[in-house]
Structure 1
């Protein structure tokens, strides 16, 4: 029974199918996990980043409090109260008895408060560097976990292709044996080679499972989603990563600035702050009330062994921070240049595999198979050539994985807010 749709309904149905076909790649991609998505999600979910952000907020709050004067002190007193005689415990009959209320305020000098504010601001900058460092570390670890799974899956795909060929080789060896053109030894050899590939596939599946668990630490359940294709990794120019912008050096620089601010505080502490007090004393109704004004001045009687020593200690810590900064600059520069040199070396090896080793391995495998089919070669030669081709393919994947890891180490020296693969080669 044929059912005819009206022309308008048919057109709507066709349009719906076309829209679905056009939108399908986007729908399919929405269920995939890209490296950039994994990196962004890891930074959002990380409790380490949340902890560092809280520490940065705490430092900002303390910076506001550092510039304030000390709180005034309220003083209440009962002076010269008789404890014997006819006026004992009376607060009004003896002319010397006074009920006093006063306020004392420490007059912190402006230069000392400015030094404390500077110290607090340097601590804010140091905490902010710590937050950025936490973000960069989480992003780098998430990218490495994503890359580990991606390359493990590529190795699995390569092994599956080799297993398909090995199964065909077993079938061919069995057919030749049944036709008395091959030996039983060749059948066992082909089956053993197939089982060896299956064992390597199981090992690779284990590596994928481990990499997925590690990735789930950063991105949660979406780690089980399929991965998108890997982005292109390009080596940055030598001047694209200024040494002073790396977080390791930024942290050391912030530590030096904090040590300098601390030294300025101890220098200001060598000059004491005065305190002033205003007190109102009330006596009995027959006597006059009194007002007192007091000035307190700390006596730094042993300044050379206390305040001066504290200042000298802070200056020594400043020298230590400067030395660590210089050492960090040298270490970071050496690490970056070593990574760039390793990258260039691996790129040369990758080109060699693409231009020479892989074609030669495939040609050798094809020649061995053709010789075996013509009866002039052995199955052992075919299997050896195929194992060699597989090893060359896996070596190429490992080299590409090394390049990707070097890229991650260089890229996430600083936190990344946007796309992370748009670097240009020198």
Structure 2
């Protein structure tokens, strides 16, 4: 039994040991292949394109069968051959919907297909962006956790030194308590950070499932990654959200055109053949029918007016969305530029100064001219500086993700589902 247990433990741990680090690129690829909302929008687009073909056709003809003028009393009651007016009828009726109206219906279905197609790009952009943000949150929170854990390990070693110095009469009891307080505060900060990591992992699992439990690869180098696509400002009109609103405007235009075409009624033609008794002639009838728009001002014109109002609404929303997008774009660019400047300041000034302060306080403590409290304060400030540097790096990475995962092209939408561009 003792020989079996190690092998059993090894088998249970094998999946974890075999798991390769999850890179940002792999996380995005997994999320794209597991995005059912994109597949749903593809099905919606296909359905709309099929409807566009059907909407452009004439209605099916109507077959009509009947009996006319059958006597119900007298010597010829219920006879189909003795009464001259009795007829067995067969006919066909066809409604001739005008070509402009059928084209308007087909155009509306095509606009719905285009909206579904653009929505696929928007859904893909949202999937990529949200997966990237969740991965970055988890990666940078993990790096901050590693910093804090290394600091706690160092504080424990320092605690042993403080205890030994106090027992030997070379230190103060206040230094022992100060170090214990620093350990407790750091452990509380670590517990809060572990909570944030669990929340970040759950957000990542929303997009990639159980792969979120894998260890993460190191975050990409910011100096090489914090570059905004050069055509970003010029491609604002192609942003999926703005393109979706443009597709909604086109759909509203198609609705308005349909309402305008509905103001003119269509004509239906009916051809009937009536068979009478042996001694009577058979008859043929042709009928024309059409609706009578006797109150067009209160019905058809009102519907047309409502569709025009909805078109105005869609255009106003489009203008507002364009303005909001440009403001968000400028804001993210400002955040990214500011974060770049701050990262340079941290790397060139703040981090070296914090390390120099720790070394100076530690040298003074070893020489007997400084206190352990000063060393702890210097170490705390150095850790806070490194942690803040990571937060600024995360802020820059988030702004970069917001800017660079906005506008997937047509080939990207197809490739996300294994199609050829």
- Alpha-carbon distance in 2 for matches of 1:378, 1:126: 69
d(CA) in 1 for partners of 2:363, 2:345: 26
Provide the residue aligned with 1:193 in structure 2: 182
Match of 1:234 among 216, 220, 226: 226
Structure 2, unpaired ranges of 5+: 1-16, 414-421
What's the counterpart of residue 304 of structure 2? 311
TM-score where L is the length of structure 1: 0.87
Partners of 1:239 and 1:44 lie apart in 2 by 27
SS at match of 1:414: coil
Q: 1:103 aligns with which of 81, 92, 96?
A: 92
Deviations 1:123-160 (A, max 9, x none): 11112122222222222222221111111110111112
For residue 28 of structure 2, the aligned residue among 11, 17, 39 is: 39
What is the distance in 2 between the residues matched to 1:260 and 1:384?
67
SS at match of 2:399: helix
CA positional deviation for 1:240: 2.0
Matched, 1:143 2:132: yes
Does 2:246 match 1:257? no
Distance in structure 2 (CA, Å) of the matches to 1:175 and 1:30:
44
SS of equivalent to 1:78 = strand
Contact 1:246–1:414 under 8 Å retained in 2: yes
Q: Provide TM-score, normalisation by structure 2.
A: 0.88
Unmatched 5+ stretches in structure 1: 1-27, 419-426
Tell me whether 1:60 sits opposite 2:49 in the alignment.
yes
User: SS of the residue aligned with 2:297?
Assistant: helix
Shift of residue 103, structure 1, vs aligned partner = 0.8
Matched with 1:161 is 150
- 1:372 is matched with 365
Match for residue 110 of structure 2? 121
Task: Show the counterpart of 1:221.
Answer: 210
Are 1:351 and 2:344 matched, yes or no? yes
Residue aligning to 1:206: 195
Summarize deviations over 1:323-342 as a string: whole Å, max 9, x none: 11111111111110111111
Distance (whole Å) between structure 2 residues aligned to residue 290 and residue 184 of structure 1: 121
Identify the residue that residue 416 of structure 2 maps to in structure 1. none
Q: Secondary structure at the match of 2:92?
A: strand
Please report how far the alpha carbon of residue 367 of structure 1 lies from its aligned counterpart in structure 2 after TM superposition: 0.5
Question: CA offset at residue 385 of structure 1?
Answer: 0.5
2:226–2:397: 8 Å Cα contact kept in structure 1? no
The CA deviation at 1:30 is 7.0
The residue correspondences of 1:391-406 to structure 2 (distance < 5 A) are: 391-406=384-399
The CA distance in 2 between the partners of 1:321 and 1:377, in whole Å, is: 70
What does the per-residue CA deviation read over 1:70-95, in whole Å, with 9 as the maximum and x for residues that have no partner?
11111111110111111111112111
Question: In 1, Cα distance between the equivalents of 2:119 and 2:38?
Answer: 9
CA contact (8 A) 2:226 2:396 kept: no
Instruction: Tell me how far apart the structure 2 counterparts of residues 236 and 375 of structure 1 sit (CA, whole Å).
Output: 53
Q: Give the RMSD, CA atoms, in angstroms.
A: 1.9
| Alignment match, 1:296 | 289
Distance 1:349 1:243 in 2: 28
In the other structure, the counterpart of 1:341 is: 334
Secondary structure of 2:336's partner?
helix
Distance 2:86 2:100 in 1: 42
Using the TM superposition, name which of 248-257 and 126-135 deviates more: 126-135
In the TM superposition, what is the alpha-carbon distance from 1:301 to its structure 2 partner?
2.1
Q: How does 1:16-95 map to 2 (within 5 A)?
A: 31-95=20-84
- Matching residue of 2:272: 279
Distance 2:51 2:209 in 1: 35
Between the aligned partners of 2:124 and 2:232, the Cα distance in structure 1 is: 20
Aligned to 2:14: none
Q: Is 1:112 matched with 2:101?
A: yes
1:201 CA displacement:
1.9
CA distance in 2, matches of 1:31, 1:57: 38
Which residue of structure 1 lines up, in the alignment, with residue 319 of structure 2? 326
SS for the counterpart of 1:197 is: helix
Matched residue SS, 2:143 = helix
Mark the CA change 1:123 to 1:294 in structure 2 (over 3 Å): closer, same or farther: same
